[in-house]
A and B are shown apart, each in its own frame.
Chain A
Amino acid sequence: MSLHYTKEHEWIRVEADIATVGITDFAQAQLGDVVFVEVPEAGRQVSKGSEAAVVESVKAASDVYAPVSGEIVEGNQALVDDSALVNSDPEGEGWFFRLRLSNPGELEGLMDADAYRSFCESQ
């Protein structure tokens, strides 16, 4: 298992060829209370940097981008029913979607936990 982060404040947990994607604790704190989440359908092909999900808080609506390319395996339906999970457990129960990596090489450009922590401090 490996854990990666993006400058768009997403985390990616990779197990075998499946990546689980969510937004970081920093991101949920910036967004404020999340009131609506739209997750992708299984089977959809997404390419790195394309829009994959939508998150809306009391302050703003934002797109969640696919940090790596692949085929969506599962969207987290629990978020559709209870968007508060993004605030209460962003890096656990509040995951957004899982995808099957089509180009594992794309992971190499992402940050690890230490690099992401210093990235946030510089924000």
Chain B
Amino acid sequence: MTKNPSGWRPDLGAADSEGARTGTFTGNRALMLEEPLIFEMEEGGGTGVDFAEVPGVESRLAGLERNRPIGIPGLSEPQTVRHYTRLSRQNYAIDLGLFPLGSCTMKHNPRLNEKVARMPGFADIHPLQPADTVQGALALIEMLGGWLVTLTGMHSVAMSPKAGAHGELCGLLAMRAALEARGDAREVILVPESAHGTNPATAAFAGYRVESIPANERGRVDLDALTARLGPDVAGVMITNPNTCGLFEPDMLAISEAVHAAGGLVYCDGANFNAIVGRVRPGDLGIDAMHINLHKTFSTPHGGGGPGSGPVVFSEALTPFAPLPFVERLGNHFALVEEEHVVGRAPRGPAVSGGHGDPMLAGQHHGSSFGRMTAFHGQMGMFTRAMAYILSHGADGLRQVSGDAVLNANYILRQLEDVLDAPFAASGPCMHEALFSDKGFQGGLTTLDLAKGLIDEGYHPMTMYFPLVVHGSMLVEPTETESKAALDQFIGALRSVAERAKAGDQSLKAAPVHAPRRRLDETLAARKPVLVYREPEQAQAAE
């Protein structure tokens, strides 16, 4: 394709340039549309479908008829469609541009996944259907579980947990069941500072006391501090690897061995599996349980685009305690095992709803199951998408995913470390995330100001103020799908805003200036949140 030979490009114009008329009658700025709240669009009780008044009908509601408006805006279908479409255009999305929050929030969702998920044999089924009528779906669950077990080098998988934190709870409950089964109820879970924020919450929810283990100066778990704390009261550790500083924990094997030697168990938060998939098998690192976020590593949509899904893989030692249900292959037949049979007790009924199974099946390897996480079998729509992703990449493709994700993050780290402080850059390459601090910002400017400046540059900000071990932290995860051109443009934008922050450019305090709304008062929003629409007179009365 030849470029425009004249060299002419349409002038996008500056909204506030000299001589330009800045205000418009509508408040719109061309395709940037100003949009009221849906409640403010009400014109007087319209509906999607208008029915004529039915004559000669006697009310049988005996005085219980509605006597005041119900507070739902009356709009026609095109008004409603336009309202939400207009709002969606003010949003940022992975389909619009680079999302430096990375796989943690959303990486590219391949369209092939969507096509597969809509196949009627997967999409139009019900969890209560007889297993004989959904053999394809069960085969897919078993196949996906097999891939997850192989990729992680673990022994078994529980597919039902609905998201990452749910998976963490599943892992901890299995650990708790295993410890209690050996008559060794322990009280404490150790959580390093470099772990995900959900880890201590999960441990507390599972009934454990949480103790924090400090990070060393290289951003990794302080192995000496961890081993010093181990003892007969420690049930286990929850460790995130790669950790929230975007760094691999090189002492992982030593940590696992020390924890096991002290009688504890090792939970790994697998949210950052994207950085190591196809290269590192957590099972080789002595891990007992780990969740996998299908909605991160395996590209299924989340964050409003779809539900999460957090299968948990288990070591051989924890497998008997894993939750039900699970899918078991019996020759060419796939059975859904829904009931555990405690070994030594007579079966209460058929364990296998598929109808062809050995009734003792569950008892053979899930005899001490801690129970169920969910009523049904997991997020089927996410299983089909993840399976499509895995099969379309293959083993070599998945290996390249982690390689490219790490390469892209390191490119950003090295391109920006001269302008932004990178506290752990000297310790070697990062994994899939590059971490920067606010060191050197002048004039009272903060990470928040930089983030707002990035909005003006047309990017969603990166993760900020987390992890807590770094001051004013900025955690950038580009993911594997970004091209070098896209990375270079993002690096240019971030460099430009970072230079303004380091120069103390006070105009950054006013950012964003080009967004549909200027800087919002986050403090007021947190202190006095307005969560429900009220008619203006009601709102006034409540003041």
Q: List A residues at the B interface (Cβ < 8 Å).
A: 33, 35-36, 58-60, 83-84
- B490-527 CB contact bits vs A (8 Å, 1 = yes)? 00000000000000000000000000000000110011
Q: How far is it, in angstroms, between the C-alpha of A84 and the C-alpha of B528 when the chains are bound?
A: 12
Contact check, B526 vs A58: say whether CB atoms are below 8 A apart. Answer: yes
Q: B465 contacts A84, CB within 8 Å?
A: no
Interface size class, chain B: under 10
Contact A33 B523 (CB under 8 A): yes
What's the nearest-Cβ distance from chain B to residue A26, in Å? 13
Chain A, Cβ-Cβ closest to B528: A35
Chain B: minimal CB distance from A85 (Å) = 12
Residue of B whose beta carbon sits closest to that of A58: B522
Contact with A along B247-291 (1 / 0, CB 8 A): 000000000000000000000000000000000000000000000
Which of these, B468, B522, B526, contacts A36 with CB under 8 Å? B526
> Is the contact region of chain A dominated by helix, strand, or loop, or is it mixed?
loop
Cβ contact within 8 Å between B468 and A84: no
Q: How far is the CB of B1 from chain A (nearest CB, A)?
A: 48
Please indicate the chain B residues that have their CB under 8 angstroms from the CB of A83 in the complex. Answer: 527
Distance A60 CA – B468 CA, assembled complex (angstroms): 8
Check B523 against A58 for contact (C-beta < 8 Å).
Answer: yes
Name the B residues within 8 Å of A33 (CB-CB): 522-523, 526
Convert B65-108 into 0s and 1s, putting 1 for each residue whose CB lies closer than 8 angstroms to a CB of A. 00000000000000000000000000000000000000000000
List chain B residues, Cβ under 8 A from A58.
Answer: 522-523, 526
Interface pair A35/B523, CB less than 8 Å apart: yes
Interface residues of B in 12-67 (CB under 8 A from A): none
Q: Would you give 10 A-B contacts (Cβ < 8 Å), ordered by A?
A: A33-B522, A33-B523, A33-B526, A35-B527, A58-B522, A58-B526, A60-B465, A60-B468, A83-B527, A84-B527
Most chain B CB neighbours (cut-off 10 Å) among A58, A60, A83, A84: A58
A35 x B468 contact (CB < 8 A): no
Determine how close the nearest CB of chain B comes to the CB of A50; give it in whole angstroms. Answer: 10
B465 touches A59 (CB 8 A): yes
**B339 CB → nearest A CB, Å:** 41
CB distance from A89 to the nearest CB of B (A): 16
9 closest cross-chain pairs (CB), A and B:
A35-B526, A33-B523, A59-B465, A58-B522, A35-B527, A58-B523, A58-B526, A35-B523, A60-B465
For the complex, give the distance between the alpha carbons of A36 and B523 in Å: 10
- Give Cα A36–Cα B522 distance, bound, in whole angstroms: 13
Report Cα–Cα, A35/B526, bound state, in Å.
6
Which residue of the partner chain A has the closest CB to B529?
Answer: A35
Complex Cα distance A36/B468, Å? 19
| Alpha-carbon distance A53/B163, docked complex (angstroms) | 30
Complex CA gap A60/B473 in Å reads 12
Identity of the chain B residue whose Cβ is nearest the Cβ of A87 in the assembled complex: B523
Residues from 465 to 482 in B contacting A, C-beta threshold 8 Å: 465, 468
Provide the residues of chain A in CB contact with B527, threshold 8 Å. 35, 83-84
Contacts of B468 in A (CB 8 A): 60
CB distance from A94 to the nearest CB of B (A): 15
Which residues from chain A contact B526 at a C-beta distance below 8 Å? 33, 35-36, 58
B204 to chain A, nearest CB (A): 11
Which residues of A sit under 8 angstroms from B522, Cβ to Cβ?
33, 58
* Contacts A35-B527, A58-B523 supplied; 12 other A-B pairs, CB < 8 Å: A33-B522, A33-B523, A33-B526, A35-B523, A35-B526, A36-B526, A58-B522, A59-B465, A60-B465, A60-B468, A83-B527, A84-B527
Minimum Cβ distance to chain A for residue B209 (Å)? 10
Nearest opposing residue in chain B for A35, CB measure = B526
Within the complex, the shortest CB–CB distance from B259 to chain A, in Å, comes to 24
A123: nearest chain-B partner, CB-CB:
B471
Closest approach, in angstroms, between the C-beta of B214 and any C-beta of chain A?
A: 13
Inter-chain CA distance A83–B527, complex, in Å, is 8
